[in-house]
Amino acid sequence: MTGRPHDLTDLYLAPVVLGIDARLEDLSTLSADDLVFRVALESDVEARDSAERRSALIETVQRGLELHGWTLAINDRGLVISHADHAVSLGLPPNLREFVSD
């Protein structure tokens, strides 16, 4: 991998990451109860287990953002933004880590 963009989707990485980072910053200020409410409201899911909380959080983070072909997932490192062979991980704030933990 050369580190250079390979296609138009790669060129959108910076605005996608900046938009996601802003959403994470906004969510990081919420109390545990407020976070549960906000995620349920924005994802239309009342999550009952860790898998549902992860999915609902991803829906909440990407709500209203154009991802331009990039996809989101949560792993042990944080929030993974990926497309083809490229991936970037953003750390999750403590309240979001607690929200998605088992």
Q: Is residue 4 part of a domain?
A: no
Q: Is residue 1 part of a domain?
A: no
| pTM exceeds 0.85 | yes
Stretch among 1-10, 29-38, 67-76 having the lowest mean pLDDT: 1-10
Q: Is residue 3 part of a domain?
A: no
Q: Domain count of the chain?
A: 1
Q: What is the CA radius of gyration of the chain?
A: 14
Q: Is residue 47 part of a domain?
A: yes
Q: Is residue 34 part of a domain?
A: yes
List the structure tokens of 45: 């899911």
**pLDDT tier at 1, thresholds 50, 70, 90:** very low
Render pLDDT for 33-46 as a digit per residue (tens, 0 to 9). 999 999 999 999 99
pLDDT at 2: 58
For residue 44, is it left (φ>0), alpha (ψ between -120 and 50) or beta? left
Cβ-based neighbour number of residue 31 at 10 Å: 9
Stretch among 32-36, 69-73, 84-88, 89-93 having the lowest mean pLDDT: 84-88
Query: At residue 79, does pLDDT exceed 70?
Result: yes
